[in-house]
Amino acid sequence: MTGFDQPLVWVTVALLAWGLVMVYSASIAMPDNPRFAKYTHTYFLTRHVMWLIVAFVAALLAFQIPLKTWEQAAPWLFVVSLVLLVAVLIPHVGKVVYGARRWIALGPLGFQPSEIAKFAVLLYAADYMVRKMDVKERFFRAVAPMGVAVAVVGLLLLAEPDMGAFMVIAVIAMGILFLGGVNVRMFLLIATVLVVAFGVMIALSDWRRERIFAYLDPWSEKNALAKGYQLTHSLIAIGRGEIFGVGLGGSVEKLHWLPEAHTDFLLAVIGEEFGLVGVLCVIGLFLWLTRRMMHIGRQAIALDRVFAGLVAQGVAVWMGFQAFINMGVNLGALPTKGLTLPLMSYGGSAILVNLIAIAVVLRVDFENRQMMHGGRTR
């Protein structure tokens, strides 16, 4: 038990357990809505538990795999993720939900290839930085292949469409570039190009522009009943919770007022039922999780294990950024995006890939400890 970071495990377990309770709380009344009349009150809870069990087994298996094996498999996992992103766009293979083709059905369950793409791009970027990239000489020539790879993933995600997942993947790649040694001037240049690109995407899309306008003025009569509906009810829920909340199960907004209360807007339900104290606890747990994984990555790099270090830090960037975006959306600080709260929101494929990624970070820490105690990593 002393061979890996136990506090990291317990913080992860705490987030998963709290998320399970809140998914049940947020979804228990959904069958009262005629749209979900065929579901039982425990429908989402049962499926969430099933995915947690599958994810736990997958994480145990992932922990057994040495980082050297992950490094060798990184290019192939990236190719597999591209195949899945193409497959989801094929009619009768990809499943359309709310007008977006993002899921592939596996019997009673479904998964999002975009979640696998996040992990695959992370491994590919870390492997690329170690093997091929010279960040001091011929910079643009060295960056171009990875830039093209991320652009291809982005085009496939935008075809679904899933701009939120593309943003996360772009930030993961940028984070690994910066952590891998890109100087600040080059980093800012690439970041500027990405910001301009995302700005153009928003400007050329009517419904994305409407989301921005709704974010700027969510309480207007036009927006409050349309694009700003989720945001206004999220703010009402958080405001109603005040300091200590109304108590577990006492949320009113989850009773068919707040759409996607068990997924994208789970934090709003937490804010209503646990108040400001609950929201601050969630923020604190994610801050600690991110900081700890960054520390494990720095430790690996100090031991001259650059790939392992970049992977650990990349997972930290991924979890931290996605949590930041989700919290910002729920609190009205950022425009609405379809991103869930890692480890807590309902979503099987997200939970599965998140736990595999954390298991790989634990493996990095395990191998760090082996080296520091005079052993050799396998």
| Domain-wise residue ranges, the chain | 6-372
Task: For residue 193, count other CB atoms closer than 10 A to its CB.
Answer: 11
- Weakly modelled stretches of the chain, pLDDT under 50: 1
pLDDT value for 29: 85
Closest CA to 357 of 55, 78, 110, 94: 55
pLDDT value for 342: 94
pLDDT value for 191: 79
Q: Where are the alpha helices (DSSP H) in the chain?
A: 6-27, 43-63, 67-87, 113-131, 139-158, 163-179, 184-203, 206-216, 221-224, 229-241, 266-302, 306-330, 348-372
Closest CA to 312 of 331, 298, 324, 332: 298
pLDDT value for 119: 95
Report yes or no: 168 and 315 within 8 Å, Cβ to Cβ: no
pLDDT value for 214: 81
pLDDT value for 148: 84
Report yes or no: 208 and 221 within 8 Å, Cβ to Cβ: no
Closest CA to 347 of 266, 272, 282: 266
pLDDT value for 1: 44
pLDDT value for 123: 95
Structure tokens at 241: 């919770």
CA distance 229 to 233: 6
